[in-house]
């Protein structure tokens, strides 16, 4: 007997769905059968450091910014998303296939290179491509399992960056996050949370920056005008190409000052959780 009213219980059930998704990650088929894949579930207050560390990166990288704002706004409204972190060990090959996909003739040469360069990329790397395939199949099964449960979800490289920076899943060398819920339509697609954050001018400028061919005038002269306004010829405007010290300075500041400051605040607490009990 019972009577459930409202949707708080749906919000709570997202966590149960996340457990089912973690199960799907472990059950996912592999090509090699030799890739270690793991999943963890993070929600509520434990999302705070993750949201915080995504902030400065989001300020300089739009897709991270959108993920950050969506997660933050949902959390602040009391509708915490649940994050399924999916990691794998991909930076060494124990296959002996010598297939060449990584760019080296042999797995031994790749492993020697990987030892020197491990974790040097924003999301990890270097990687054995067959192990990346295994990991990606597990990530895809996580997404498919979420859709099967009709929970709005999006797999986010931005969450992968935050998990890596903060030291989650220390034994895994590549990570990504699947954000789940809250229980409503279109949380992570079309993004209602982001309504009215972007002006018409920003949207239009984005299109001009990112899809320039649509806005290019006759290119035969070699330096085509850009059609950024109705009377685009008066006066004409041209796209400039060159090194941007301003952009690079901001990027350096985010990656090597702001992110480490946030990581220092939270990392030891997270590290403690992975310490083996005596």
Kindly tell me which residue out of 2, 6, 29, 235 binds another protein, with binding defined by CB under 8 A. 29
Q: Is 205 in the site for another protein (CB under 8 A)?
A: no
* Sheet of 37-43, strands arranged across: 37-43, 82-88, 174-180, 153-156
For 205-215, b where at least 16 C-beta lie within 10 A, e where not — what string? eeebeeeeeeb
Sign, CA torsion 97/102/107/109: positive
Dist CA 171 CA 168 (whole Å) = 9
Q: What angle do CA 125, 127, 130 make, to 5 degrees?
A: 155
Give residue 253's Cα distance to chain centre. 20
| Segment interacting with another protein (CB under 8 A) among 15-23, 67-75, 131-139, 212-220 | 131-139
Q: Are 88 and 138 in contact (CB under 8 A)?
A: yes
For another protein, the closer CB: 14 or 132:
132
Q: Does 119 bind another protein (CB under 8 A)?
A: yes
Figure out which of the listed residues 127, 163, 177, 225 binds another protein, where binding follows CB under 8 A: 127
Choose the binding region for another protein from 23-31, 44-52, 73-81, 219-227 (rule: CB under 8 A).
Answer: 23-31
Q: How far is the CB of 237 from another protein (least distance, A)?
A: 23
Identify whether the C-beta of residue 174 lies closer than 8 Å to the C-beta of residue 123: yes
> Which 45-64 positions form the footprint of another protein (CB under 8 A)?
none
Single out the residue of 59, 60, 99, 217 in contact with another protein (rule: CB under 8 A): 99
- What SS3 state is found at 43? strand
Within residues 156-195, the interface with another protein by CB under 8 A covers 157, 174
Q: Which of 134, 172, 182, 183 binds another protein (CB under 8 A)?
A: 134
Exactly one of 10, 11, 20, 32 binds another protein (CB under 8 A); that residue is 32
**Residue 186, Cα to own-chain centre: how many angstroms?**
18
Which residue from 53, 132, 166, 262 is in contact with another protein, where contact means CB under 8 A? 132
Assess contact for 141 and 151: CB atoms under 8 A: no
Among 75, 130, 168, 215, binds another protein (CB under 8 A): 130
Asked if 44 interacts with another protein (CB under 8 A), we say: no
- Say if CB 259 and CB 165 are below 8 A apart: yes
Nearest distance in Å: CB 212, another protein = 15
> Which of 10, 59, 60, 143 lies at the binding interface for another protein (CB under 8 A)?
143
Give the span between the Cα atoms of 33 and 52, in whole angstroms: 36
Residues that bind another protein (CB under 8 A): 28-29, 31-32, 91, 95-105, 113-114, 117-127, 129-130, 132-141, 143-144, 154-155, 157, 174
């Amino acid at each position: 007997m019972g009577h459930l009213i409202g949707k708080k219980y749906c919000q709570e059930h997202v966590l149960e769905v996340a457990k089912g998704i973690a199960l799907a990650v472990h059950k996912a088929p592999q090509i090699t059968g030799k890739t270690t894949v793991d999943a963890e579930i993070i929600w509520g207050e434990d999302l705070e450091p993750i949201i915080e560390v995504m902030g400065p990166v989001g300020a300089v990288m739009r897709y991270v910014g959108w993920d950050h704002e969506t997660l933050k706004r949902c959390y602040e409204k009391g509708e915490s998303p649940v994050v399924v972190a999916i990691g794998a060990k991909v930076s060494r090959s124990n296959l002996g296939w010598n297939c060449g996909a990584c760019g080296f003739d042999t797995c031994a040469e790749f492993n020697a290179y990987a030892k020197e360069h491990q974790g040097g990329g924003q999301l990890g790397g270097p990687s054995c491509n067959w192990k990346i395939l295994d990991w990606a199949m597990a990530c895809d099964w996580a997404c498919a399992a979420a859709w099967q449960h009709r929970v709005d979800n999006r797999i986010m490289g931005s969450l992968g960056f935050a998990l890596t920076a903060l030291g989650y899943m220390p034994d895994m060398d590549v990570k990504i996050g699947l954000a789940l819920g809250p229980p409503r339509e279109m949380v992570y697609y079309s993004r209602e949370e982001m309504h009215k954050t972007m002006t018409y001018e920003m949207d239009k400028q984005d299109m001009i920056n990112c899809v320039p061919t649509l806005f290019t005038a006759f290119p035969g002269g070699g330096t085509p005008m850009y059609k950024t306004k109705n009377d685009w010829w008066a006066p004409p405007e041209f796209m400039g190409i060159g090194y941007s010290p301003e952009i690079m300075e901001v990027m350096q500041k985010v990656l090597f000052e702001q992110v480490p400051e946030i990581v220092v605040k939270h990392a030891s607490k997270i590290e403690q959780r992975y310490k083996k009990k005596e």
